[in-house]
């Protein structure tokens, strides 16, 4: 008797497991009772690609999903010789078609994972979930290496920086919690601990222009650091996962923290360059409301 999947392909939180190793995916799916159990994880080899992991014939198959751009410059997802406009469409197709020996029946069961905050986090973007030190959050999905989606006690959901939290379990001993408090006696993040850069920021085509949103006066002994003034336009030439980016400003090349700038949309035309691609910082600054 052929089983039919009853899951909702548009319920991303049910089937997307974020970043995990091949071995972790196999362990999760082999613990499932039925063939056709599946999950979608990030590719560990190509940024932006996914892997569809499915329990078939009592073993786990890993199908690469390539994120591509078609002739009309639209993002598509290709698995084998078939192309889909989005991941829900792909999953809906294999809900009623066989991959190898089974269609997709149901997403793998997610275990409830909790984390406890080591520091306060006020949030930088509208999608962020602010929290205070010692808050306990439920992990919804592990979207990126350094950014996860979590839910707080009020039911609010948003992005959290992974370095600001640690794993929490109901059975954590008083000693463990005491050690956490000793390790982070202050509610504020240590100076050397910067908010991690988001993967989406690393996917911007470079070089690209960014506008300074926060003043920065570098250490006088660091000759490679750029001095930033609000409204300056930087030509970003390299983005690093550690949050220290590289770029050109007023004829000087150097590094700066990514938290001090924001990329300028490509449809903005206020950035002027000369024939060599150098930036003229004559762009009018935003008027302050009175």
In whole angstroms, what is the distance from residue 214 CA to residue 240 CA?
A: 19
Reported CATH class of domain 199-280: mainly beta
Is 3.40.605.10 the CATH classification of the domain at 113-183? no
CA-nearest of 154, 263, 258 to 208 is 263
Q: Do domains 113-183 and 199-280 have the same CATH topology?
A: yes
DSSP 286: P
Is 3.40.1010.10 the CATH classification of the domain at 12-107? no
User: How crowded is residue 32: how many other Cβ atoms within 10 Å of its Cβ?
Assistant: 18
pLDDT for residue 190: 53
For the chain, the structural domain boundaries read 12-107, 113-183, 199-280
CB 102 within 8 A of CB 58: no
Distances (CA, A) of 193 to 189, 190, 197, 256: 6, 5, 12, 15
208 sits in the region (left: phi over 0; alpha: psi -120 to 50; else beta) called beta
Residue pLDDT tens, the chain, 290 long = 456 778 999 998 899 988 888 999 999 999 999 999 999 998 988 878 999 999 999 899 999 999 998 888 889 999 999 999 999 999 999 999 999 999 999 999 988 889 999 989 988 778 899 999 999 999 988 777 788 889 999 999 999 988 899 988 776 644 455 555 545 455 555 544 556 666 556 567 888 899 888 888 888 778 889 999 988 999 999 887 667 889 999 999 999 888 788 888 765 434 444 334 434 343 333 233 33
Residue 12's SS3 state is helix
**Residue 76, beta-bridge partner list:** 68
CB 131 within 8 A of CB 121: yes
**Residue 53, beta-bridge partner list:** 39, 62
Contacts (Cβ under 8 Å, ≥6 apart) of 74? 85
pLDDT for residue 276: 41
**Cα angle, residue 218 at apex, residues 216 and 220 outer, rounded to 5°:** 150
């Amino acid at each position: 008797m052929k089983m039919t999947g009853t899951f909702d392909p548009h319920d991303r939180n049910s089937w997307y497991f974020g970043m995990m190793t091949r071995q972790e995916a196999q362990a999760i799916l082999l613990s499932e009772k039925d063939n056709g159990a599946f999950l979608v994880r990030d590719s560990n080899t190509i940024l932006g690609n996914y892997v569809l992991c499915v329990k078939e014939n009592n073993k786990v198959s890993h199908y690469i999903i390539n994120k591509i751009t078609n002739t009309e410059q639209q993002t598509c997802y290709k698995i084998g010789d078939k192309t889909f406009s989005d991941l829900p469409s792909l999953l809906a197709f294999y809900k009623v078609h066989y991959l190898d020996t089974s269609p997709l029946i149901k997403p793998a069961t997610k275990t409830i994972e909790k984390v406890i905050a080591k520091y306060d986090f006020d949030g930088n973007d509208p999608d962020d979930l602010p929290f205070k030190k010692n808050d306990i959050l439920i992990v919804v999905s592990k979207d990126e290496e350094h950014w996860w989606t979590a839910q707080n006690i009020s039911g609010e959901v948003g992005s959290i920086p992974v370095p600001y939290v640690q794993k929490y379990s109901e059975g954590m001993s008083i000693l463990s919690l005491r050690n956490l408090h000793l390790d982070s006696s202050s509610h504020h993040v240590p100076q050397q601990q910067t908010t991690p850069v988001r993967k989406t920021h690393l996917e911007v085509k470079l070089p690209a222009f960014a506008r300074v949103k926060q003043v920065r006066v570098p250490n006088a002994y660091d000759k490679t650091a750029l001095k930033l003034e609000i409204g300056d336009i930087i030509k970003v030439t390299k983005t690093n996962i550690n949050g220290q980016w590289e770029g050109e400003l007023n004829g000087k090349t150097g590094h700066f923290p990514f938290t001090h700038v924001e990329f300028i949309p490509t449809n903005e035309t206020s950035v002027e360059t000369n024939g060599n691609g150098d930036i003229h910082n004559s762009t009018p600054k935003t008027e302050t409301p009175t």
